[in-house]
Homo-oligomer: A and B are copies of this chain.
Amino acid sequence: MADKITPRSVDYSQWYIDIVLNAKLADYSPVKGCMVIRPRGFAIWERLRDELDRRFKETGHQNAYFPMFIPMSFLEKEAEHVEGFSPELAVVTHAGGEELDEPLVVRPTSETIIWSKYRDWIQSWRDLPLLYNQWANVVRWEKRTRLFLRTTEFLWQEGHTAHETQEEAEAETATMLEVYRRFAEEYLCLPVIAGRKSDAEKFAGAVATYSIEAMMQDKKALQAGTSHFLGQNFAKAFDVQFQTRDGQLDHVWATSWGASTRLVGAIIMTHSDDKGLVLPPSLAQEEVVVIPIFKNDNKATVLEYANRVVQSLKASGRRVAFDTDDSNTPGWKFAEWEMRGVPLRVEAGPKDAANGTVVMVRRDTGEKSFVSIDDIAAVAATTLATMQKDLLEKARAFRDANTRDVVSYTDLLEFYGKEKKAKPQAAIDGESHEGTAEATGGYARGLWCGSRECEAKLKADLKVTIRNMPSDQQDHVEGVCCLCGAPARHRAIFARSY
């Protein structure tokens, strides 16, 4: 199996696709740009969805469901919103055998349909806040697509909240950004930078957009979640007013925030290696695979012993696969389960059965240990917990090693100019022979004047964008813009991105 996967050093994009296809996470669709999420890929999505949902509920949110069809006229009510989304819309013009009076858009996002209902539900400050979320499919007609990372239809959640005051809505925006940040780090092992997007990169219709940004192994950034402060824009567009505590009428304040199946792509790209998928234990369908190693004359003994190991792991709450198929060799199975990203492999052969031990191998480091059958449940539990921490720290170390402070355009040119497009980058675990001296990009941390001109120049010259302005680095900004030398207003993270 492993030989089906193109090494990262040869072709990073192909390596990613090889993993997605060979680990049976997803497949292409007969409809251009759409994808099929196969069971092993969907299991990852299910686990992350359930955990994120739990965190939403813990912070007071409820789920609802709004129609996926939106009248075209609704989108047109918010000028920036329709301008941003209209190139990407899929439009239903016929239904039930007839042409529709008004075309219906398949939701690219649901602000407009939701705010058209909030108008019915909100009369007074007593009706506020509304803290709703929905899990749904959305459609954005993209020209260039890539499995999980960018597909015309994708699955996501979109939170839509309504508040009495600006302060409350801004606090909600910040709260949800922090929910995403912690979720990404604790559950997905993705170290992320949380911060505000530039105006050029904000959501169409938002006053301010905040994001979490992760770094992939090719040193490109990937936006992994966004939280928008919408001000009163949608309340004004849909005329949603409420009676305030002091008896006045005011427009409602809004936020929205979302994360999508793109996260599955980010997880694959961040942790995997040339043998295949590497998954944080939190996300793995099976945390442990037990592989019995037997010949005909000891099959019964070994299987019985291996089954004891399986039962002991299951009794301790572990998710376990037991690979008893004898049409494949143990070596083939090792490679196969490595490709699938199962965090721990436990091998049990005749000697192990005699000694009361097993061999345990970590997927991420390849580290082998001999464990007594009496300790297997406890050792598996601590090893998985360690692995969960190690994957985050490994990704963080990689990101930090590929982050550089820049003070001038020369620095930026040097940092991004030498990128070799055909041969992407030094891989995280050093298989590549390119050293860090041969800098090929990553995160550049620098000061920015805030002008659209500087941002546009950077994008045109180097295909580099401002990922965000990290929330925790905006105090005492002093100095000059690394692009134009004018007085700086923000500390920013620059990078190429997905």
A binding-site residues for B, Cβ under 8 Å: 27, 29-31, 34-39, 42-43, 45-46, 62-71, 74, 86-97, 103-104, 106, 113, 116-117, 120, 132, 136-137, 141-143, 152-153, 155
What are the residues of chain B within 8 A of A94 when measuring CB–CB? 90-91, 93, 103
- Report yes or no: A43 in contact with B65, Cβ–Cβ below 8 A: no
A95 to B136, alpha carbons, bound, how many Å?
19
A86 to B90, alpha carbons, bound, how many Å?
20
- Report yes or no: B39 in contact with A132, Cβ–Cβ below 8 A: yes
A45 to B63, alpha carbons, bound, how many Å?
10
Q: A74-B30, A91-B93 are in contact. Are A63 and B42 (CB under 8 A)?
A: yes
Q: A94-B90, A96-B88, A106-B106 are in contact. Are A39 and B62 (CB under 8 A)?
A: yes
A67 to B70, alpha carbons, bound, how many Å?
19
- Report yes or no: A92 in contact with B91, Cβ–Cβ below 8 A: yes
Give chain B nearest CB distance to A123 CB in angstroms. Answer: 14
Q: Which of B39, B62, B86, B142 contacts A63 (CB 8 A)?
A: B39
- Report yes or no: A67 in contact with B27, Cβ–Cβ below 8 A: no
- List the 3 closest A-B pairs by CB distance, nearest first: A96-B141, A34-B67, A39-B62
| Interface of A (DSSP majority class) | mixed
Nearest B residue to A112, CB-CB: B30
User: What number of copies of this chain does the assembly contain?
Assistant: 2
What are the residues of chain B within 8 A of A62 when measuring CB–CB? 39, 42-43
Give chain B nearest CB distance to A391 CB in angstroms. Answer: 25
Give chain B nearest CB distance to A336 CB in angstroms. Answer: 14
Give chain B nearest CB distance to A144 CB in angstroms. Answer: 12
Q: A30-B74, A31-B71, A71-B30 are in contact. Are A64 and B93 (CB under 8 A)?
A: no
A97 to B46, alpha carbons, bound, how many Å?
33
- Report yes or no: B96 in contact with A87, Cβ–Cβ below 8 A: yes
- Report yes or no: A143 in contact with B96, Cβ–Cβ below 8 A: yes
What are the residues of chain B within 8 A of A31 when measuring CB–CB? 67, 69-71, 104, 113
A87 to B94, alpha carbons, bound, how many Å?
11
Give chain B nearest CB distance to A141 CB in angstroms. Answer: 3
* Interface-central residue, A37, A46, A66, by most chain B CB under 10 Å: A66
Give chain B nearest CB distance to A396 CB in angstroms. Answer: 31
A317 to B7, alpha carbons, bound, how many Å?
50
Q: A62-B43, A90-B92, A96-B87 are in contact. Are A116 and B67 (CB under 8 A)?
A: no
- Report yes or no: A36 in contact with B67, Cβ–Cβ below 8 A: yes
Nearest B residue to A151, CB-CB: B67
Given contact pairs A27-B117, A37-B66, enumerate 11 new A-B contacts (beta carbons under 8 Å).
A30-B117, A35-B67, A38-B64, A39-B64, A68-B153, A69-B153, A90-B96, A91-B95, A92-B106, A95-B152, A96-B141
What are the residues of chain B within 8 A of A106 when measuring CB–CB? 92, 106
What are the residues of chain B within 8 A of A103 when measuring CB–CB? 94
Q: A39-B62, A46-B63 are in contact. Are A89 and B93 (CB under 8 A)?
A: no
A17 to B89, alpha carbons, bound, how many Å?
34
Nearest B residue to A103, CB-CB: B94
A97 to B82, alpha carbons, bound, how many Å?
13
What are the residues of chain B within 8 A of A93 when measuring CB–CB? 91-94
Nearest B residue to A106, CB-CB: B92
Give chain B nearest CB distance to A140 CB in angstroms. Answer: 9
- Report yes or no: A116 in contact with B30, Cβ–Cβ below 8 A: yes
What are the residues of chain B within 8 A of A120 when measuring CB–CB? 27
Nearest B residue to A26, CB-CB: B65
Give chain B nearest CB distance to A381 CB in angstroms. Answer: 23
- Report yes or no: A65 in contact with B91, Cβ–Cβ below 8 A: no
